[in-house]
Chains A and B, each alone.
Chain A
Amino acid sequence: AQTVTQSQPEMSVQEAETVTLSCTYDTSENNYYLFWYKQPPSRQMILVIRQEAYKQQNATENRFSVNFQKAAKSFSLKISDSQLGDTAMYFCAFRPGSGGSNYKLTFGKGTLLTVNP
C-alpha cells in the first residue's frame, strides 16, 4: 500500500514571497502519478499541478512548480510570488499508473498555508 506524508501541518508566508511545501511518499510502484490539490476555505478542491513519475522534468504551472526527486520519493511544491488567494489547505496525492487500483488517490494529511498581507 502507498503512503503519503506531509510533515508540515501548517505554514505561513508573506504575500509576494516564495514558500515550499513538503511531501514524501512510499511505494513499490515504478509508474505512478503525483498531484498537488488546493482546497480553499469552504470551496472546492482543485488540481494545482500534476507530475508523471516517468518524466524527469519537473512540472510547472505559472507560479507553481514541483521538485520531484524519484529516488528520494520526494515531491515538494514551490509557490512563487505568493498571493492572498493562495491561502488554502494543500494536499499531496499519489495514484498508481497501473494495476487494479490505478484510479485510487492516496492523499496526505494536508498542509494549511496562510498567506499574510
Chain B
Amino acid sequence: DAMVIQNPRYQVTQFGKPVTLSCSQTLNHNVMYWYQQKSSQAPKLLFHYYDKDFNNEADTPDNFQSRRPNTSFCFLDIRSPGLGDAAMYLCATSRGLAGTGGNEQFFGPGTRLTVL
C-alpha cells in the first residue's frame, strides 16, 4: 500500500544534541510537510517542500531545518534541541498545493521526540 513512513517512531535525544527525523513516501507526491504537535495541541506547520522548493513558515525557529534529497525522502533536522522541542513530529504529503480536490494531505504516524 502507498503510504507515508516515519522513522524512528520514538526518538530520545539530549539537550543540545542534534537530531534528525526521517520521512519517506511511496505516494509519489510533490509536496511534503513537517508539523510539530505538542501534547493535547493541534499540529503546527513548520515548513513544506514543493518538489525542491523549500517554504518556511514565518514563525518556525531557525533551530529547525529540513532537507529533501529526492521525491521520496524528507528530513527534519533539529540543530540544538531544547526541552520545549519535545513533541510529536508529523510528516504529511500531498499531490499538489492548490486547494482543489485531490490535494488532501496524507499523514505519517509521527515521531515522538523526547529531550532529556
Interface residues of A, Cβ cutoff 8 Å to B: 31-33, 35, 37, 43-47, 50, 52, 91, 95-98, 102-105, 107-110
- Tell which of B40, B103, B109 touches A44, judged by Cβ atoms closer than 8 Å: B109
Interface residues of B, Cβ cutoff 8 Å to A: 4, 31, 40-43, 45, 48, 90, 94, 97-101, 103-110
**Interface hub of B31, B43, B106 (most chain A Cβ within 10 A):** B43
Within the complex, the shortest CB–CB distance from B105 to chain A, in Å, comes to 6
Number of A-B contacts (CB under 8 A): 50
**What are the 3 closest A-B residue pairs judged by CB atoms, nearest first?**
A107-B42, A102-B99, A97-B99
A residues near B97, Cβ cutoff 8 Å: 102-103
Q: Are B107 and A105 in touch, CB under 8 angstroms?
A: no
Q: Which residue of A lies closest to B50 (CB)?
A: A103
**Additional A-B contacts beyond A44-B4, A103-B98 (19; CB < 8 A):** A31-B99, A44-B110, A45-B90, A45-B107, A46-B107, A47-B104, A47-B106, A91-B42, A98-B99, A103-B31, A103-B48, A103-B94, A103-B99, A104-B45, A105-B43, A105-B45, A105-B105, A107-B43, A110-B42
